[in-house]
Copies of this chain bind each other. A is one copy, B any other.
Amino acid sequence: MSFNIPKTSKKRIVIVGGGFGGLQLANKLKKSDYQVVLVDKNNYHQFLPLIYQVASGGMEPSSIAFPFRNVYKNRKKSFFFRLAKARAVVPELDVLQTSIGKIEYDYLIFAAGTVSNFFGNKNIEEVAMPMKNISEAMGLRNALLGNFERAITCATEEEKKELLNVVIVGGGATGIEIAGALSEMKRYVIPKDYPEIKPDDLKIYLVEAADRLLQGMTPKSSEDSAKSLEEMGVKVILGKKVADYNNRNVVFENGEVIPTRTLIWTSGVTAVRIGNMNPSVIGRGGRIVVDEFNRVEGYDNIFAIGDQCLQTTDPAFPNGHPQLAQVAIQQGTLLAANFNRMQSGQTLKPFRYNDLGSMATIGRNRAVVDLPKLHFKGWFAWAMWLFVHLRSILGVRNKLFVLLNWIWNYITYDYTMRLIVYARKAKEVKEREEREAQTHLGEDILKNSHELQN
């Protein structure tokens, strides 16, 4: 028995990570004859496309999160959720080592996504605020609001400048979305709520190392979004690379600096690392190299999907797929179907990504949409963005509350959730975190199966 999960005649599929890919896979296995175990370090699925709205105080965390146990409450016998971090895999024993102990699998699927990549710069890593999860988005919101408060009472003009300069590094969708949201906060919220701050003193910089924003989209979208952001008062800096952070300054490669205490990092990602994997299967960006069926090379019963994997077998994407929710969802769907095929002895189908288009929102009535043969922007693009995202959010309650929030914010020009609040950490929780940290077994430590911990 692993983790008190009953051993039955059903084959056990262990999924690491309940993001778009892992969740889709688990959903599509609903009627299958497998036992499904989902392992995630959070007890909820996060709808990351709206995370910037949590960071800017326009949305509650619970509106874009859905507890896994709630998703699967009607699948008591075939579905198990375990709150744990995956540490390492022991393929010769078919065992996954996690922060709370080991778990046996018949099939193991990695769908753990990516973490922020600071390209080895410790100074940046220490101060940068990423937006990869709800916890970080809440932390960013708290820090931003705290800086506004502090800017009013601080002693020097220099400090005030540092507190009111916001530098966003990374011109992808998340970067432009948070830049847009902050510029709306500057325009609509600051004058009302912070009469002691001159709105123009709040300066928002969006920095992208490449020569255009939204590199995954069409040049037209890049151009439109940069133009919109500039109109909204965001300083868009293209073709400059952030090299360091020190003395409360963002330092560019060419030596230029921007003083700031708010460095928002949406720049690079690297795939989540799993201990004890054969280094030969780790490709570009730390991604796990898989074949056309998302099977990890050299392993029979280990798969990887979504951002964490690199699949170069799709003729249209010889360098691998972009790291997008759509890819993960489609891979999850196909892998579930292939598992069902496996059981009935059918041949498996290879993965082909069907690009449905992509979109990014910039602000009120402003968005850009690239469909396979069509680019458009403006109010209709914005409405489409809202509709597509609302539709994708899990659960009726969340859909309802997100919609109401949007309507409220749209009418009132207000982001109402401007609380600076940290949950108090109970002693029991701190102790458990320490205990679980001690069970960490990275690939450096785990030499053989004798070292497995219970």
- A→B interface (CB under 8 Å): 3-4, 42-44, 60-62, 65, 67, 69-70, 73, 76, 80, 82-84, 100-101, 126-127, 129, 134-136, 138-143, 145-147, 149-150, 152-153, 155, 192-196, 261-262, 395, 397, 400-401, 404, 408, 412, 414, 416-429, 432, 454
Contact = CB atoms under 8 A, between A and B. Distances in A.
B4 A135 contact: no
Q: Copy number in this complex?
A: 2
A149 B419 contact: no
Contacts of A136: 424
Given A43-B149, A65-B421, A73-B192, 19 more contacts: A42-B420, A43-B145, A44-B420, A60-B60, A62-B419, A65-B419, A67-B416, A70-B418, A73-B193, A101-B153, A127-B428, A135-B421, A138-B423, A142-B423, A143-B426, A261-B428, A422-B422, A422-B423, A422-B425
Contacts of A69: 193-194, 418
Contact of A428 (B262, B408, B422): B262
Give 3 closest A-B pairs by Cβ, nearest first. A139-B424, A138-B423, A76-B195
A100 B432 CA distance: 35
Nearest to A262: B428
Contacts of A152: 3-4, 82
A408 B67 CA distance: 16
A414 B67 CA distance: 12
Nearest to A69: B193
Contacts of A147: 428
Contacts of A146: 83, 428-429, 432
A139 B60 contact: no
20 contacts: A42-B419, A42-B421, A43-B420, A44-B418, A65-B419, A67-B418, A70-B193, A70-B416, A82-B152, A83-B420, A127-B428, A129-B426, A138-B424, A139-B424, A141-B423, A146-B429, A147-B428, A150-B432, A261-B428, A422-B422
A316 to B, nearest CB: 38
Contacts of A422: 135, 422-423, 425
Given A62-B419, A152-B4, A419-B65, A139 B193 contact: no
Contacts of A195: 76
Contacts of A84: 153
Contacts of A129: 424, 426
Nearest to A143: B426
Nearest to A65: B419
Nearest to A79: B195
A67 to B, nearest CB: 5
